[in-house]
Amino acid sequence: MKHVGYAHIIYHAGIAAIEPAIVAEVRSVTRKEVIGNTVAVPGKLAPEHNDLLGHVLFALKHEGVNLQVLAQALPKILEPEIRSAFNASPNSQYLRKVCFLWEHFTGQVIQRNVDEIKQAYLPLFDPKQYITGKGFKNPRWRVTFNGLGTLGYCVTVRRTDIIEALLGKNLLQEAAEFTESLPKDILNRTLAWAYLHETKDSYAIENESPTDNKATRFVELLKQAHNPRDLDEDYLVDLQNAVISNVFSLAASFRTEQNYLSDGLRGALGVSYVPPSAELGRALMEELMALANQPPEDVDPLVLASIISFGFVFIHPFMDGNGRLSRFLFHQVLCQTGALKHGLVLPVSIVMRQNETDYLAVLQHFSEPARRFWDVTFIDENQFFFDFKGHGSLYRYWDGTECVEFMAKATEQAIEHHLKEETVFLARYDEIYRRINQEFDVSNADLSRLVMFCLDQNGNISKNRRKQYQYKVPDDVFDALEAAYQAIAIEHTKDLTQ
């Protein structure tokens, strides 16, 4: 078996790029077949080994658009070869895409024979394969750039079955309709719960337990997500200062030095991820903020929020606080696009913490291969020398498919298994409290705790709890609590079956 298309270009043209999720290979097949994550093609379709332009055209036709590879490969092709190929086949849609991208990545102009192209505009990214925006039109080659971002920073999201199914559920609309249906009191208490848990779990992902002061600050931060506000450096610096308590870690701007992440091992082997240089990171943050502030039309906010959140953490613009801010930005984008209303936040950090292995795997899908393009030399404790052997396109163009899949799943679980369950919990709490309060004279504090104990233990009051409260409440209260829980559970079951 031999690679063709993008994989061939990476391995044989000196390209510093992450291997694509779908790889093309020559196999013993009679026609092109997709086998798992492999595009299998017969030998007759494979370009010659040294035909770089041929492999580029093959890749565009059979594998889609990979700007990370194309940004490096196209400048290796000389203008006369591009010109000759186009003049010989001026109606080829793939050559038009090649020419459009070649001129962008080289800054040169192809001296073609045709003065004006008459064919209809064609999209750079096939909307059947990718989630796309409306984009802008290039009249010279009549190609529409419809990527998520710009030619300076673009994230690709493939239309997988998982993404299509989850986006088809209109999760954000479902969340909006659900919260609108709640009584105001239940809604307010549910929101308070969601803000608190999003805060605690976001810190827990960083292995931190926030103090009351920290938690209060982060809750207020989440509430700010609903205030109309574009992202800019000053705003993000203010946000970073709000989530960081160590005065020595407070930022005054985007970072001006190289950052890195460590897995705890000593020396260079412990460096698990190296984000872009400070200079490139600043340029990419300008692109990322523009994408968030002027999002592509007709792109699901859930997709946009996911790639902004993960894009931020991959750039790592601050020396500390990037993880918490990335999770804040997920909510901020949803709020700014109007997808979350009435003060709603989604407790996605609960899901991320409960599925931490999957969350880390999504991060590592980019961070691990990116790390391989850095030579890291250990100098002294917490001091390293970093030498980037890759190409800026590594950070400019990345595949966000797995990120969107993960966050869409997290959103569904946050709504179905946490937000809705909390409203059920609160409704049951209120009803049990009301029933016991009507029948017995128990202090509010004691009754509140006992109702919570009863709910937490699925309708049981343990012997230890009964002993703990035996001199505070009548014995009949314990049995009444259990009976009230059972009665409400039966009523709830009837409601579901009717």
Q: Tens digit of pLDDT for each residue in 167-181?
A: 999 999 998 888 888
What pLDDT score does 285 carry?
98
Whether 497 has a pLDDT exceeding 50, the answer reads no
CA 23, CA 372: separation in Å to the nearest integer? Answer: 19
Find the length of the chain.
498
Residues 6+ apart with CB under 8 A from 324: 202, 203, 206, 218, 243
Q: What is the mean pLDDT of residues 158-166?
A: 96
Contact, 101 vs 152, CB < 8 A?
Answer: no
* pLDDT computed for residue 498 by the predictor: 47
Rounded to whole angstroms, the Cα distance separating 322 from 344 reads 23
pLDDT, average across residues 281-303? 95
How sure is the predictor about 496, in pLDDT bands with cuts at 50, 70 and 90? Answer: very low
Phi-psi region for residue 267, left (φ > 0), alpha (ψ -120 to 50) or beta? left
Indicate if the pLDDT at residue 250 is higher than 50: yes
Would you state the structure tokens that stand for residue 455, as one six-digit string? 């709910």
pLDDT band of residue 120 (cuts 50, 70, 90) is very high
Task: Provide the phi-psi class of 429: left if phi over 0, else alpha when psi is between -120 and 50, else beta.
Answer: alpha
Please give the C-alpha separations between residue 175 and each of 302, 328, 365, in angstroms, as whole numbers: 12, 18, 29
Q: Identify whether the C-beta of residue 280 lies closer than 8 Å to the C-beta of residue 392.
A: yes
pLDDT band at 95 (very low <50, low <70, confident <90, very high): very high
Range of 39-48, 140-149, 192-201, 330-339 with top mean pLDDT? 140-149
Mean pLDDT of 227-251: 90
User: For the domain 163-415, what is the CATH code?
Assistant: 1.10.3290.10
Stretch 44-52: mean pLDDT, rounded? 93
Q: How far apart (Å, rounded) are the C-alpha atoms in residues 315 and 396?
A: 10
C-alpha 51/C-alpha 117 separation (Å) is 26
Helices 322-336, 301-315: axis angle to 10 degrees equals: 160
How far apart, in whole angstroms, are the C-alpha atoms of residue 362 and residue 397? 16
Looking at this protein, which amino acid is placed at residue 154? C
* pTM of this structure: 0.90
